[in-house]
Amino acid sequence: MIKKQILEYFDIQQKQFELNFEPAFTTTDEKSIHDIRVCIKRLRLLYRFLDFFSDEQFCSKKKAKLLADVFKSAGPLRDAQIRIAIFEKMKGDLKSNYTDLNEFLKLQERSEIRKFKQKANTFNAEQIRDLFNFSEALLKIIIHFPGLQIAFDSYKENRRNKIRSLLKRDKPKVEFHQVRKRLKDLTYLTEIQQLPSDETNEELLNLKLLGKRLGDWHDLEVFLDELNYLKSEKKKPEVDFEEIEAKLKQQQQVIIDEFYKEYANLR
């Protein structure tokens, strides 16, 4: 039954969060930072579903605030790491090594590492543990409300409809970041359904592939946003912005074209 799967999913994400919490803040390991943010996304999806199911009785925004703060604190560092990774991949296709930009990105990363480690002192692991304990206790009550399976299926269809609605616009007007968020919701709901099996079904494979496409698109968008910021600043590295922007936008277009082809397989 879906209530057993929801509890198991919550337990898995809670343990993964606790496993990565200290390494993320002490070592700023890229994988730990990524993993802890993914855990938080999955937990927040559970909270939103429970609000959908219980007519807001779970109060997800209030309960998830502490997790949201942890998530946001890692955002700037994660973005800095993404920019460096993309730039490393691009170097072979650029006319110049852009030494100034390369050093600037690394300085940014070092600055964000310092800020991230300082932020660690503001988070109380005991408070987070209390949040998990309280959430689990409330979760065990709410999931026994009648109609859980119907609500779960309805919420999943709600996420599908949101994606369809967003993609009805002409391609240049589509908010792909919003599509990506709803796609993550749909992916996590499908993960819950397939528990306790370790095998990934075709639906989940397709969702993860689509998610990766839009994840790659978003990473390029992070870099483009930074270039736009640098162009507006007086103090900036000497960079041929047009060449780099053209490469990034070209890659984005290829990704979006692939996304639409693969999205057709999901419907």
Q: From CA 45, how far away is CA 65, in angstroms rounded?
A: 13
Reference 208, options 252, 152, 261, 262; nearest CA is 262
The HSE-up count of residue 43 (CA atoms within 13 Å, CB side) is 29
Q: What is the pLDDT of residue 153?
A: 95
Phi then psi for residue 187, to 5 deg, are -65, -45
Per-residue pLDDT of the chain (267 residues; tens, 9 = 90+): 798 999 999 999 999 999 998 888 888 888 989 999 999 999 999 988 988 888 777 777 777 788 889 999 999 999 999 999 999 998 888 888 788 888 999 999 999 999 998 888 888 888 888 889 888 888 888 888 899 999 999 999 999 999 999 999 998 889 999 999 999 999 999 999 999 877 778 899 999 999 999 999 999 999 999 888 888 775 566 677 888 999 999 999 999 999 999 998 766
Q: Where are the domains of the chain?
A: 2-266
Using CB atoms within 10 A of its CB, is residue 259 exposed (0-12), middle (13-18) or buried (19+)?
Answer: buried
Structural tokens at position 210: 């689509």
User: Please, are residues 51 and 58 in contact by the beta-carbon 8 Å criterion?
Assistant: yes
Q: What is the pLDDT of residue 237?
A: 63
Q: Which residues contact 152 (CB under 8 A, 6 or more apart)?
A: 2, 49, 53, 189, 192
Q: What is the pLDDT of residue 238?
A: 67
Reference 160, options 94, 206, 100; nearest CA is 206
Helix %, strand %, coil % for the chain, to 5? 85, 0, 15
Q: What is the pLDDT of residue 94?
A: 82
For the domain 2-266, what is the CATH superfamily, name and number?
A: CHAD domain (1.40.20.10)
pTM for this structure? 0.91
Structural tokens at position 259: 């996304």
Token pair 């809670």: residue: 14
